[in-house]
Chains A and B, each alone.
Chain A
Amino acid sequence: MSALIELLKTKQNRLCSVFFSAGFPKLEDTATIIKELSTNGVDFIEVGLPYSDPLADGTTIQYSSAVALKNGINLDVIFEQLKSVKKENTAPLVLMGYLNQVLKFGEEKFCESCRECGIETVILPDLPMIEYENHYKALFASYGISNVFLITPQTSDERIRKIDEMTEAFIYVVASSSITGAKGGISDGQIAYFERIKAMNLKSKLIVGFGISNKETFDTACDYMNGAIIGSAFINFLDEKGVAAIPEFTKGILA
């Protein structure tokens, strides 16, 4: 069983995940960021694979992706970086990228590289469920990789049940109908949506992402779901204060 699935079994609330773009702010920062987040209370980490055309991302992740690409990041470099932290026993890592990166790298080779780096979970937002079932499920399974699906306020109950069925790690609960980006607060409408999902009594763990930006939004999300993911707000923080200040960030969320 994957380390992440193990973790999700033992820890049920206030699971804290942080997203960052590999190779940002500096090409060589990837490993340091992973180590810092791991030793400062983050439960699992999403490593973003910078892409030229990140359709589901707002300006912050567009920016960090563009900087990382300019720094020379690519999938070969990322897998080297991840290999280098493998022995450090960090928090479980999840890769988040776009399907075309996997296609071009080679689907099989991508899975192999994941295995070498101990990656057991991926999120590919533009890989729809039907394509996953028809073309990826068997391949991923043969490498012990589980795929994370997203649900949104518009996703029907029927579809959520189906996603729940197919989920091994967690369901990514997109907090609102929008692309990624730090937002101020959580509205009553969003809370009604969280309550609706919670009342469905799904078997999968539920982790909220998109728009979780600070202690307050993290806490609110955790009141309803098993945990939350912070992305753009962390990238903005890194951009401003740098890698060395990471403990300050995690303390701010988890204190």
Chain B
Amino acid sequence: MEPKFQPTKEGYYGQFGGAFIPELLYPNVKELEDNYLEIIYSEAFQKEYKYLLNQYVGRPTPLYLSKGLSKKYNASIYLKREDLCHTGAHKVNNTVGQILLAKHLGKKRIIAETGAGQHGVATATVCALMELECIVFMGEVDIKRQAPNVARMKMLGATVMPAKSGSRTLKDATNEAIRDWIGNPEDTYYLIGSVVGPHPYPDMVARLQAVISEEIKAQLLEQTGKENPDTVVACVGGGSNAAGAFYHYLEDTSVELIAVEAAGLGVNSGESAATSQLGEVGVIHGSKTILMQDEYGQIIEPYSISAGLDYPGVGPLHAYLYETKRATFLNATDQEALDAAYELSRVEGIIPALESAHALAALNKMDIKAGQVIVLNLSGRGDKDLETYIDNLKE
């Protein structure tokens, strides 16, 4: 049977995806498109990629049966511990892969965008490892909000370039990275941080994150005798950790997929990042997807307490999962995410990233059956969010 959730040759998932790029970027993107599969599946690449995932990132990450949550919901709730990856989130799975690709393509200069700074740190880390120049674009507003990650990137040797255009947050950092790439078409590699952007990025990043569900399958089999859970839950900003956690289950409709977006102050509050609920079909950063926009197609700035989830679009795979109802899209507010983070900290001794806390908060909104086997992708750890957690902690 033809797989339903793999992109076409032109990078389409149903009506979503494609490569809506100015001619200025055509050679850069074409070079990637022509080479990414061959390079990624070459023996040399796979050997180095696997070695680094094991010995540098710390994979496989554990699949941990949460006693506290399982008891609360009368179910089996497993946490996929991406929070234990080097640099504190799943983001590094992607950056390790793409940096090897950039090296194979002979690129000398790496650029990236970042919102919260997690992808920026993960990129600066692999650039330090590979001794490549690293420039991270970050919105001026985010630079102020995420000072510790800015310091980490600088310590790792990266240059942090403030994005001063537009709303000066993640989408503007992405615009600036793309503008830089236009100006440096030959020696520069754009290392995108999620399953967004023009084809082949969404597919490439999904493949590099697919290691998450590959491990889940093997680990569940070992722990329960079955490789399929009933349900996989993940938070969605651009969608990379969810794409990785869903990947090997996409075609098997007996596995329920739940994507959790950030509702901010509430889906209809005007301060939200629940793209699937608020967006319409549009083009952002080279991809046709679901996009938060006004009646004239001007992009609306999203809001969430979590800087990793406030993207006005979503990856084209997720837009397709939403449209076809292959995945169920839930959302959690700032407060619900905070409460879920405090709860996990107390019952399991694990402080989750605010992004991952949105996935945890969605457990409350699911109709969980007795004994249901649920894998929740704990995409990152909460170190970067401590200030927010402390500020919001009621005595």
Chain A residues within 8 Å of B, Cβ to Cβ: 51-53, 55-56, 58-59, 62, 66, 69, 74-76, 98-105, 125-131, 149-152, 154-156, 159, 174, 177-179
A128 and B21 within 8 A (CB)? yes
Do A127 and B20 form a contact, CB below 8 Å, given A100-B291, A179-B179? yes
**19 A-B pairs with C-beta separation under 8 A:** A51-B298, A66-B166, A98-B283, A100-B283, A100-B299, A101-B297, A102-B297, A103-B282, A105-B296, A125-B22, A125-B24, A126-B20, A128-B26, A131-B20, A154-B27, A174-B23, A177-B183, A177-B184, A178-B182
Do A59 and B165 form a contact, CB below 8 Å, given A100-B293, A103-B297, A154-B185? yes
Contact with A along B171-189 (1 / 0, CB 8 A): 1100100110011111000
The docked-state distance in angstroms from the alpha carbon of A66 to that of B175 is 15
| Chain B, range 170-228, C-beta contacts under 8 Å to A | 171-172, 175, 178-179, 182-186
A179 and B183 within 8 A (CB)? yes
The docked-state distance in angstroms from the alpha carbon of A140 to that of B170 is 34
What's the least CB distance linking B234 to chain A, in Å?
27
B-side interface residues, number (CB < 8 Å): 36
The docked-state distance in angstroms from the alpha carbon of A100 to that of B291 is 10
List 18 additional A-B contacts (Cβ < 8 Å) besides A75-B296, A152-B185, A177-B182: A52-B299, A53-B172, A53-B299, A58-B179, A62-B165, A100-B283, A101-B297, A102-B297, A104-B295, A104-B296, A125-B23, A128-B19, A128-B20, A128-B21, A149-B23, A150-B23, A178-B183, A179-B179
A53 and B295 within 8 A (CB)? no
Q: CB-CB < 8 A to B297: which residues of A?
A: 51, 98, 100-105
B14 at the interface (CB under 8 A from A): no
A174 and B24 within 8 A (CB)? yes
The docked-state distance in angstroms from the alpha carbon of A128 to that of B19 is 8
The docked-state distance in angstroms from the alpha carbon of A219 to that of B276 is 51
Q: CB-CB < 8 A to A101: which residues of B?
A: 296-298
B183 and A52 within 8 A (CB)? no
| Chain B, range 9-47, C-beta contacts under 8 Å to A | 10, 18-24, 26-27
B286 and A74 within 8 A (CB)? no
B284 at the interface (CB under 8 A from A): yes
Q: CB-CB < 8 A to B20: which residues of A?
A: 99, 126-128, 131
What's the least CB distance linking B168 to chain A, in Å?
12
What's the least CB distance linking A186 to chain B, in Å?
17
Q: Which of B10, B18, B19, B179 contacts A55 (CB 8 A)?
A: B179
B251 at the interface (CB under 8 A from A): no
B281 at the interface (CB under 8 A from A): yes
The docked-state distance in angstroms from the alpha carbon of A124 to that of B260 is 34
Do A126 and B21 form a contact, CB below 8 Å, given A99-B283, A100-B282, A154-B27? yes
**Complex: chain A residue closest to B297, CB-CB:** A104
What's the least CB distance linking A159 to chain B, in Å?
8
A55 and B281 within 8 A (CB)? no
B280 at the interface (CB under 8 A from A): yes
B22 and A155 within 8 A (CB)? no
Q: CB-CB < 8 A to B285: which residues of A?
A: 55
What's the least CB distance linking B10 to chain A, in Å?
7
Closest 4 CB pairs of A and B: A104-B297, A150-B23, A52-B298, A125-B22
The docked-state distance in angstroms from the alpha carbon of A59 to that of B179 is 11
Q: CB-CB < 8 A to B172: which residues of A?
A: 53
B166 and A55 within 8 A (CB)? no
**Complex: chain B residue closest to A66, CB-CB:** B166
Q: CB-CB < 8 A to B296: which residues of A?
A: 74-76, 101, 104-105
A179 and B182 within 8 A (CB)? yes
Determine which residue in A55, A98, A102 has the highest number of CB atoms from chain B within 10 A of its CB, and name it: A55
The docked-state distance in angstroms from the alpha carbon of A177 to that of B23 is 10
Q: CB-CB < 8 A to B23: which residues of A?
A: 125, 128-129, 149-152, 155, 174
The docked-state distance in angstroms from the alpha carbon of A104 to that of B186 is 34
The docked-state distance in angstroms from the alpha carbon of A166 to that of B141 is 44
A130 and B175 within 8 A (CB)? no
Q: CB-CB < 8 A to A150: which residues of B?
A: 22-24
What's the least CB distance linking A48 to chain B, in Å?
14
What's the least CB distance linking B184 to chain A, in Å?
8
A104 and B182 within 8 A (CB)? no
B18 and A126 within 8 A (CB)? no
The docked-state distance in angstroms from the alpha carbon of A128 to that of B285 is 13
A104 and B282 within 8 A (CB)? yes
The docked-state distance in angstroms from the alpha carbon of A35 to that of B18 is 40
Q: Which of A59, A104, A130 contacts B280 (CB 8 A)?
A: A104
Do A53 and B175 form a contact, CB below 8 Å, given A69-B298, A125-B23, A127-B20? yes
Q: CB-CB < 8 A to B280: which residues of A?
A: 104
What's the least CB distance linking B384 to chain A, in Å?
27
What's the least CB distance linking B266 to chain A, in Å?
24
Q: CB-CB < 8 A to B21: which residues of A?
A: 126, 128
The docked-state distance in angstroms from the alpha carbon of A156 to that of B27 is 9
B183 and A100 within 8 A (CB)? no
Q: CB-CB < 8 A to B24: which residues of A?
A: 56, 125, 150, 152, 154, 174, 177-179
What's the least CB distance linking A197 to chain B, in Å?
14
Q: CB-CB < 8 A to A104: which residues of B?
A: 280, 282, 293, 295-297
Determine which residue in B20, B24, B281, B299 has the highest number of CB atoms from chain A within 10 A of its CB, and name it: B24
The docked-state distance in angstroms from the alpha carbon of A102 to that of B171 is 20
What's the least CB distance linking B280 to chain A, in Å?
7
Q: CB-CB < 8 A to A75: which residues of B?
A: 296
Q: CB-CB < 8 A to B171: which residues of A?
A: 53
Q: CB-CB < 8 A to A100: which residues of B?
A: 282-284, 291, 293, 297, 299
